[in-house]
Structure 1
Amino acid sequence: MLCRRYVVHDFPALEAVRNAQSVADNPVACYQCVVVDHRMRDGSDEEATAVKKILTERLGLRTHQLAIAWSNVLEGTGYSHPKELPNFETVARRQRYRKIAAQLAHSKIASLFLAHHEDDQYETVLMRLISGHSAPGLLGMRAATDIPESNDIHGVYQSGMIDDQASKSPMINYRPTKYDLRSIKAQMMADLDPELIARELLQGTRASAYLEDELDQYVPRTKMMLPAAPPELEDGGCMVYRPLLEFSKDRLTATCEANGIPWFEDATNHDATLTVRNAVRHLSKNHVLPVALQKPAILGMSRRLRERAQLDEGEVVRLLSRTIVRDFESTSGTVVVRLPSFRIPRLRRGQNKNDRRAKRLGHYRYIAALLIKRLLAIVTPDMQSPPVANLQNQVIRLFPSLNDNPSTYPEHPKAFNVSNVHFHPVRTSSDPKAPVNWYLSREPYVSGRPVPVCEFARLPLRQRWRRRPELWRWPPSRPWQLWDGRFWVRVFNRTNVHVSVAPFDARYAKAFRESLPDGRARDTLMGLLRHHAPGKVRYTLPALYTLGDHETAIRDHERSSDVEKAQMLDEAEIKRQWEDMDMAAQREEFYKTRDWELEQVATRGVERAGGGGGKGGGAGGGDGEGAGGASKEEYNKVLVALPTLGIAKPGLMNWIRYDVRYRKVDRTTLSESAKDENDVAWYLYKRARAMATFFCGVLLALSIAQCRSSLPWDATPITPLFKVPTSAPKAESPVSADGMANSTTIDLGWYPPSQTVINNLTNVVSNDTTGVYGFIFNSSDTPDDEYGTYNWCNMPHVRPLEYVRPSEEYELAYVELIHRHHKRTPYAANSFPVESYTWDCNDEGLYYFARPFSEDPTSPDPDPSTTTSRSNSSALAYWEVLSGTTNPFEALAPGWKGTCQFPQITSQGLDDAWQHGADLYGVYHDLLGFLPDRDDDGNWGGKVKYRVTNNVITSEVAGMVINAMWNTTAAPVPLLVQPDGVDSLEPSYTCTAAEGQFDDIQSGSNPEWEAHLEAARGLYAVLDDISGVDTAADSGFHVSFDHYYDNLSARQCHGKPLPCKLVNVNVTGADGTTTAVLVNDTSECVTQAMADEVYRFGNWEYSQIYRDSGAGSLAASVGSFGVWIAELAAHIRGVVEGSGDDTSMD
């Protein structure tokens, strides 16, 4: 039963939870419950009523009690009871969800929470495993998904957002507030150019309505045609959430019992003969299954498959970024696609080479099939996409390089159909090697098979009876219907003929074209068809038909005797006369009217589409107006409109109105794909640039394995992209012993970076419109954008999808990763000379840890139940500043007031480090090949090296990364470290030439550096006054903005307030004495605007040092990181020569 859901025993507590929740910044209005009575056994209705009573009276929740009407389901099946159905569980599930969906649509609810728990997940996966499902079926129930079994219910399944936003009180309100509108207006007014406005007013507006008058000489204005306005794309719908999948049934029942909430269990769940699920549940509870089929193993397998599916989805996203998806037409449901090519890399010689190639081809085909499923979803009318296994032939057609023998594939691809989608190859070049575009459209309808039809009834007789046509009222709001699985259509019909939506039929095209008013309208029709639906695609468009000519039918009604009788009657009298008639009289009126209409048709000589029926169709008060009645076949179909093209017979909208929308399309597929060749080229350029930068850095490092005074910035590039001084001396050009060419064979020139808001001083100074250029604070989450957003506070968690993987042309052999430590508390050196408030760090979740060496490396922690321990263990500890002692120098100590002192890693930083380790293993263990399993007796651990700096917090981070990768803490792992004075990972070695280069950049000899200090003079004066920094005594704060940057960002990273000035205030005590105390002057504080300007100056300084100072920037970078790059090059060279390790991590 669906009454198992979130359990609360306190209604005010539920209200507090509701008030704290929001969707798109819109508060949750209320909770509503749904109880479904399946009516499978006696007493089920009483039980459902009891559940509703508890939810309503005890929890104060509005509850809807629904029941399944099995009589409608069993009609025509030959079965008398639902239990006799061979697919009872499937039918019950469909009926249950459709009942719920209808209620959700009526109540305008967008989120449905189901109480599926861990045991349900286990049963689902085990059932699918028994049934022979492949990996996608073993993923289990999703934690969030669209509501199932309700694809054709508008407002529930992937639809309803447009109507919601158009309503007076939308569920989710995206409209800007008055404050936002005023702010937008102020910004727009600030951007206006008064002189330009005045000049445009003097010139006046154009006399022509056309923007480009020069087009007139090429195209006559009478022939100009704009494309049809595309139908809107639906969005929204109800999402199903399963938040309890991580909790077992026993825990949920215990929670209910602890809170006094009765647990209701459907008795049919214990009938092992009723459904397969019941049988599986009975087996798992009453028998001991093999370990591989028990709950931990099954759920673990499902979890691993979900992780694998996430990685596969990441590969699809990268492949999609190289796929050109353009010209999507919601008018006809078509799209043009250019697929990327797969290049299979050469495999190293060795055993099982053919097997490895076959495995790689199989994986590529699987990824290609997932991409095809995404593209099919744009066009296909099918509700379910085909399984990957059924797309292998199509993968070979679309990606010939994935064939086992590509040479056997035909040179010219042919059109084909899959999932009711027609793939048509289109070549835009005569070159046979040019890439092929694929035009995807709905497959043409097969002759002799039923076509999709949506029917809409005519205006009921009781609303037409004895009324002139101009008095006929529009019917109330009509529900949307899904036509052909692609278009949502809705028709308002106030005529006396039935209306239907069916495919555009060529048999009615000529009459429709001739019904248009003039030649220009007919030319417009043909032009729109050629543009939006060429060839046979036009016959998949939705068309609006009337069953008989509506204009003629309306004129016939005006001549009827009923209308003549009612000439002098008002509306109220006509309505009263109809209601005074009994059912038989109303039915008689219906048949009389119908017979008269048939006579008029016969008189006009119109050929009937079908014979008349007997007197068995009238129902519902004598109306008999259902569109499914026999009378609809008594008229010929008349094509009156092509809704998606906006073409209709003149005057149709006075009697028949229609709306059409295209169903929801995955917008990420359209947005993440390339739009043209330039997007693909840009993607390939970025990848090539990253590889070129890496290899140039490696080659550069090889030339400076030792720090020398003649640094390579003196070299002149052989083929410069930009002009450089020709007088610069050239470096020697021998070839090294290992065959590697040195600096004269590669381009060592410096090229200026492009100008951005970062290195443009004009943008830096008081530019409050650009903020801090995308910085975020106090976050462990990776920003949504791939580039442009940085995190000064914490190394943001890199999503597994964004770890670098080799492209299809290469095989991964070696990985070296370097990353910074994670979130920590600030350095004492970052504090002001006099701090204005107390900062305690003992609430940051600090964590120092240690594990002493034991004779038994696998020895666990001490067992508290025994008196002896097998090994000693360290307590968890952290540093806290000792204060309040008699130490006379304490008042003079630098640092923060409070417990913060030396930087310590926080619990959030440790959690992020652990997640990095888990993701690294998940991404690379298959690609590298020697990380097959964490249970590999630790053999793979010997091939992975970890390196840290002398700072203890890097060791703490390494411990968490290793724990997540190995999934163990038993065996000690060495952390490689270099001596403090020569450490290349955190450069601390002495290099006189490099230090001199740094000093030159940050001195008066650099006019740009001097200019930025001059521009910052006013900001410095304000900050110095607030912070108490003495310019003469502490020049470190004024050489650059490094100290101020660290100080202010450290505060904001930890959610601390920006500082205010400390001033002396005389305070009079109770005894009358006056004492001077320091207090915050809240009128003089560092504002957020000041802090943002400090960040902008700091970014400018880093860019100036490492990018913008010509050859000096190149030299400074080499002096800082050259040794580490040389080490990296040696590692790569060792792997290439076969003497190195496979993985390293710094």
Structure 2
Amino acid sequence: MLSLALGVAALVSPALALTPIETFYPPTLNDTAYISNASIGTYGGVYTAQTRTSVYNASYGVYDYCTMPHPRTQEYQMPAAIASGNVTGKLKFLEYVQRHQRRTPYNIFPYGETAPYECDNVLAYLYAAPQSGVAPVPVYGKTYTDPTNPFVASYIPGTCQYPQLTVGGVLDGVQHGKDLWALYGEKLGLIPKTPDNSIWLRSSESPLTQQSAGGVLRGIWANYTGSLPLMQQTTSVDTVNAGFSCNAKSALLSAIESTDLWNEHLTVTASLVQTLGDITGANTSSWTNTFDHFSDNFQARLCNGYALPCSETDPTSCVTMAQAEEVFRAGDWEWNYWWRNNANVTEYIQMVEGPFIGEILAHFEAVLAGNSTLKYSHDFVHDGDVGPILGALGITQLRWPAMGSNVAFEIWETNDATNKFYARALLSGQPVETIHGVLDWVPLTKLISILKPFVPSDIVALCNN
């Protein structure tokens, strides 16, 4: 756990006097006043990063949307029960769930983008190989803008796909992996020196998670020269990244977004949405019904060294940082509402993430039963997977799971006669603060019981209801 005696104890927000861990848990996040309160700013969060670099520009441990912290040896603290000598034990299993690293935006304004995004220093490899025989040429995609293409005027000139990992994201992934190896490999002796059958690597079908995995795994196994399987389910039935079809989900989400509280948050942000629409031309329902699109566009700009957008027709009319901060607060509010603060949250998490949570629990239960062959499982997924998992844990407040967000489930085997296996759940390196208490050292059976209600007994029947 982060030691506040270290240099990082410096307050990250002079106005709010926040410590790094406090930036993850805005206490008024359930209230729509959180959105419109300009004095909050980013609630100590960081939303900027340098262009084309992985240089970390915030105190370690702070909620940093561009480069989220993760477990590393400098701040990591052993479980108190182990450190004090009250029990002896060793780390038996690690389930590590993370969002991909930073990227270009998904959502482009109707007139396109006035500034080109450059990704010419990222080689997006694209090839398939037979299991044996001739090796293919390792071709990679290199995006270009053809001057004869009549559609480019309303899109984006430059050398990026939308979305794709930027070089800062790739380099951040490598550092992420180096830190995981130093802690869970060298210090705690869990991750093997060379990949073997005790590891399980999983991703969604998205190039974002696959490319992030390449960087992180290189950081973990710096000298490994072989290839590795990255397990994926078929896109149409994938249990992450909203892969499987669930007919009932849209109706439930519609109900969730029809409450008085949801409508109240739209009311308090109506003026902001109107202003942003006037500047950017983005005024269709996909941009105005939630803050997903505006947040995505602004986050991608600031996290890769680009300016906030200006009007296509009036270059003096630009989105201000204060307006972007309100967008980010609204995004945090929405994520907290979707995954923590609505009356149907349990059923919604079941429909979105229940099967994947069930896969994680199967790993836990195998350890508990003494028949697990795995030591280390790493899942490369999306914000839409990390959010519901934290919601299922009962996190007290949920900010938008940012780039590289991570949840480390540690299972420890001890000599405790009452409970042989204990668990910790770390969010970006810190024990998660939840309605069940801080998940720093709980019987594994308790962690399983916390998550179990979010795994439906029959997801097919639930989705067809």
TM range (shorter): 0.5 to 0.7
Query: Are the counterparts in 1 of residues 173 and 212 from structure 2 also a CA contact under 8 Å?
Result: yes
The answer for the alignment partner of 2:241 in structure 1 is 986
Indicate the RMSD between aligned Cα atoms, in angstroms. Answer: 3.2
Structure 2 CA distance, aligned partners of 1:850 and 1:755?
42
3-state SS in 2 of match to 1:1094: helix
Among residues 888, 905, 912, which one is paired with 2:172 in the alignment? Answer: 912
Q: d(CA) in 2 for partners of 1:1024 and 1:800? A: 45
The 1:881–1:1116 alpha-carbon spacing in structure 2 relative to 1, beyond 3 Å, is farther
Asked if the contact 1:839–1:898 (Cα under 8 Å) also holds between the matched residues in 2, the reply is yes
Task: Provide, for residues 602-632 of structure 1, a one-character-per-residue CA deviation record: whole Å limited to 9, x for no partner.
Answer: xxxxxxxxxxxxxxxxxxxxxxxxxxxxxxx
**Structure 1 residue 977: deviation in Å?**
0.3
Partner residue of 2:147? Answer: 884
Identity of matched residues, %: 31
Q: 2:125 aligns with which of 841, 849, 855?
A: 849
2:418: which partner in 1?
Answer: none
Residues 1026 and 1116 of structure 1: CA distance in aligned 2, closer, same or farther (over 3 Å): same
1:132-151 equivalences in 2 (<5 Å): none
Instruction: Work out whether residues 836 and 1060 of structure 1, in 8 Å CA contact, stay in contact via their aligned partners in 2.
Output: no
How far residue 1016 of structure 1 moved from its aligned partner, in angstroms, is 1.5
Q: Does 1:838 align with 2:115?
A: yes
Q: How far did residue 872 of structure 1 move?
A: 5.5
Question: Is 1:1086 matched up with 2:361?
Answer: no
Distance 1:1098 1:1121, change over 3 A: same
1:1061 alignment partner in structure 2: 311
* Structure 1 residue 926: Cα displacement: 5.5
- Letter aligned with residue 146 of structure 2: S
Residue 1022 of structure 1 corresponds to 275
TM-superposed deviation, 1:803: 5.3
Kept in 2: contact 1:916–1:961 (CA 8 A): yes
Query: Is the counterpart of residue 1132 in structure 1 residue 364 in structure 2?
Result: yes
- Inter-partner Cα distance in structure 1 for 2:354 and 2:187: 29
CA apart distance, 1:1010: 1.0
Match of 1:874 in 2: 138
- Rounded to whole Å, the distance in 1 between the matches of 2:64 and 2:187 is 29
| 2:328 is equivalent to residue 1052 of structure 1 | no
Letter in 2 for 1:1041: F
Q: Does the 8 Å CA contact 2:144/2:159 hold for their aligned counterparts?
A: yes
Indicate conservation of the 8 Å contact 2:72/2:183, yes or no. Answer: no
Deviation (angstroms), 1:890: 4.8
Contact 1:795 1:823 in 2 (8 A): no
Aligned to 1:791: 64
Q: CA deviation at 1:944?
A: 0.8
Q: Distance in 1 between matches of 2:65 and 2:26?
A: 22
User: Which residue in 1 is equivalent to 2:254?
Assistant: 999
Query: After superposition, what is the alpha-carbon deviation per residue over 1:862-899, rounded to whole angstroms, capped at 9, x for unaligned?
Result: xxxxxxxx965425x443243312x55555x6x43444
> C-alpha deviations, 1:630-655, integer Å up to 9, x for none?
xxxxxxxxxxxxxxxxxxxxxxxxxx
Deviations 1:1029-1062 (A, max 9, x none): 3x4xx21111111111112222222222222223
Partner of 1:1096: 329
Task: Please list, as runs of the form range in 1=range in 2, the aligned pairs for 1:731-1130 lying within 5 A after superposition.
Answer: 756-765=27-36, 767-779=37-49, 780=54, 781=56, 783-784=58-59, 786=61, 789-796=62-69, 798-802=71-75, 806=79, 807-808=81-82, 809=87, 810-827=89-106, 830-835=107-112, 837-842=114-119, 845-849=121-125, 853=129, 873-874=137-138, 877-885=140-148, 887-891=149-153, 895-925=155-185, 929=189, 931=191, 934=193, 938=194, 941-1003=196-258, 1006-1029=259-282, 1031=283, 1034-1063=284-313, 1080-1082=314-316, 1084-1110=317-343, 1112-1130=344-362
Distance 1:1130 1:850 in 2: 33
Counterpart in the other structure of 1:422: none
Q: Aligned equivalents of 1:755 and 1:955: distance in 2? A: 32
Higher relative contact order (CA closer than 8 Å, sequence separation 6+): 2
Contact persistence 1:943–1:1143 (CA under 8 A): yes
What amino acid does structure 2 have at the position aligned with 1:761?
Answer: T
Distance 1:852 1:988, change over 3 A: closer
Residues 1081, 903 of structure 1: alpha-carbon distance in 2 compared, 3 angstrom cutoff: closer
Aligned to 1:1059, the other structure's residue is in SS state coil
Q: Which amino acid aligns with 1:922?
A: A
SS at structure 2 position matched to 1:1120: helix
Amino acid paired to 1:1131: H
Larger radius of gyration: 1
Deviation at 1:850, TM superposition (A): 5.7
Residues 1037 and 871 (structure 1 numbering): CA distance in 2 closer, same or farther, change over 3 Å? Answer: closer
Q: Is the 8 A contact 1:812 1:927 kept in 2?
A: no
Does the 8 Å CA contact 2:42/2:329 hold for their aligned counterparts?
A: yes
1:1119–1:763: structure 2 CA closer, same or farther, 3 Å change rule? same
For 1:162, the equivalent position in structure 2 comes to: none
Query: Alpha carbons of 1:803 and 1:1022: their partners in 2 closer, same or farther (altered >3 Å)?
Result: same
> How many Å separate the matches in 1 of 2:76 and 2:232?
25
- Aligned-partner SS, 1:997: helix
Partner of 2:334: helix, strand, or coil?
Answer: helix
Distance 2:159 2:184 in 1: 41
Paired with 1:782 and 1:805, the residues of 2 have a C-alpha distance of 27
Aligned pairs (5 A) from 1:518-917: 668=6, 756-765=27-36, 767-779=37-49, 780=54, 781=56, 783-784=58-59, 786=61, 789-796=62-69, 798-802=71-75, 806=79, 807-808=81-82, 809=87, 810-827=89-106, 830-835=107-112, 837-842=114-119, 845-849=121-125, 853=129, 873-874=137-138, 877-885=140-148, 887-891=149-153, 895-917=155-177
Aligned to 2:427: none
The Cα of 1:947 is off from its aligned counterpart by 0.6
State the one-letter code of the partner of 1:1027.
Answer: T
SS of the residue corresponding to residue 293 of structure 2 reads: helix
What TM-score do the two structures reach when normalised by structure 2? Answer: 0.67
**Cα distance between partner residues in 2 of 1:874 and 1:1017:** 50
Distance 1:899 1:970, change over 3 A: closer
Which letter does structure 2 place at the counterpart of 1:998? L
| Structure 2 match to 1:522 | none
Letter in 1 for 2:301: R
SS in 1 for 2:312: strand
**Inter-CA distance 1097–668: structure 2 relative to 1 (3 Å threshold):** closer
The corresponding residue for 1:624 is none
Q: Secondary structure at the match of 1:945?
A: strand
Quick check: which one's helix share is greater?
Answer: 1
Closer, same or farther: CA 1022–757 of 1 in aligned 2, 3 Å = same
Q: Gaps (5+ residues) in structure 1?
A: 1-313, 322-666, 673-685, 687-753, 858-869, 1064-1079
Label 1:1037 to 1:853 Cα distance change in 2 as closer, same or farther (>3 A): closer
Cα deviation for residue 854 of structure 1 reads 8.2
The code of the aligned residue for 2:99 comes to: R
1:67 equivalent in structure 2: none
Check 1:819–1:1098 CA distance in 2 against 1; reply closer, same or farther (3 A cut): same
Could you list the per-position Cα deviations for residues 473-520 of structure 1 after superposition, in whole angstroms to 9, with x for gaps in the alignment?
A: xxxxxxxxxxxxxxxxxxxxxxxxxxxxxxxxxxxxxxxxxxxxxxxx
Q: For the Cα contact (< 8 Å) 2:252–2:348, is it kept in 1?
A: yes
Equivalents in 1 of 2:266, 2:131: separation in Å? 60
Q: Aligned partners of 2:214 and 2:77: how far apart in 1?
A: 23
2: CA distance between counterparts of 1:1124 and 1:943?
20
Q: Structure 2 CA distance, aligned partners of 1:816 and 1:774?
A: 29
Which whole-Å deviations, capped at 9, do the CAs of 1:525-549 have from their partners, x for residues lacking one?
xxxxxxxxxxxxxxxxxxxxxxxxx
